Amino acid sequence: MASYRLAGQDFYFPYLLPELNLFEIADKQPGTASSAVPFFSASNMKRNLIAHTEGWVAGAERTVETWSVPPGLLLKVAGASDFYISPDGLDILCAGQEQGSSRLNEVDRKVLLGPVMVLALSLRGAWSLHASAAIFHNNLVLFLGESGQGKSTLSAYLANLPGWRLVADDILPVTITANGVVAWPHFPQLKLPMQAQPGPGLPEQLAIGKVCVLSDAGADDLPALQRCPNSKAVQVYLGHTAGSRLFDPDLLARHLAFCSRATEKVPVYNLAYPHRLDALPMLKGLLENLC
């Protein structure tokens, strides 16, 4: 069973996951995930539906459900195997896995590395933001926004400039500490090839300096930054946390508390810009002044 260090947390998987090779822990004692296998074979297992939603998972629009299966959770994705997650988020098992097999098919692998990991991290108090991120001279800036708003494009552009470095492309786990909001970049960016993964070359944790939510500006407008009031900032965090539609009431309450506290520790800005290539240098100037 392989051991991995992801987003500051240890995980144990009885599967081969090439996407996680960069995060494998050498000489680590195996975990205990195999002890959870009986939960899958009990025909009279008590299940209660927690959440039902639709989402883009493993290259398709799929139905996703969270079920309470005491003492843990069961994540069901249409067209994929079911995954059991222990109540502490430490152990994860695939219900459709053949006995003794260490390989998952491509869909199951993407489900495990997507919503399953997001839910497991949430159980440990680490919230996964739909965000790209770049760091400028020790000042980490997160970019949030709907799909197509240019998060990845902006971060990739900045990462090629002097003083800037890519931190995340799509998903970034974050937590709150006594000193502020912290990002954990040792996490696979599934849209990037293995040789382009930014996490392994970065510290395990980075303090977040600023958060920018991207929005459209008029075609002839200049890029503009405006500080969001706290009420709006809370909505930004709530709306850009991956997997939140799968949370049970306890996780929803914990997540709301995180969003409220995060707005008190890190300023959130609305970054409006026209989607033109000639606007990118102006964005660079705005962001460097912000840092």
pLDDT confidence of residue 99: 54
Domain 127-290, CATH class in plain words: alpha beta
Residue 58 and residue 81: Cα distance in Å, rounded? 12
> Helix (H, G, I), strand (E, B), or coil: what is residue 183?
strand
pLDDT confidence of residue 63: 96
Strands of 72-77's sheet, edge to edge?
48-57, 60-69, 72-77, 83-85, 92-94
Give pTM, 2 decimals.
0.90
The strand ranges marked E within 105-192 are 127-136, 139-144, 164-168, 171-177, 180-183
pLDDT confidence of residue 278: 85
Task: For the chain, count helices (H), then strands (E).
Answer: 7, 15
Residue 112 and residue 63: Cα distance in Å, rounded? 15
Residue 75 and residue 27: Cα distance in Å, rounded? 30
Residues in the chain with pLDDT < 70? 1, 27-45, 96-101
* pLDDT tens-place string over residues 217-238: 887 888 899 999 999 999 999 9
**Domain boundaries for CATH 3.90.228.20 within the chain:** 127-290
pLDDT confidence of residue 12: 82
Q: Which two tokens stand for residue 178?
A: 């006594």
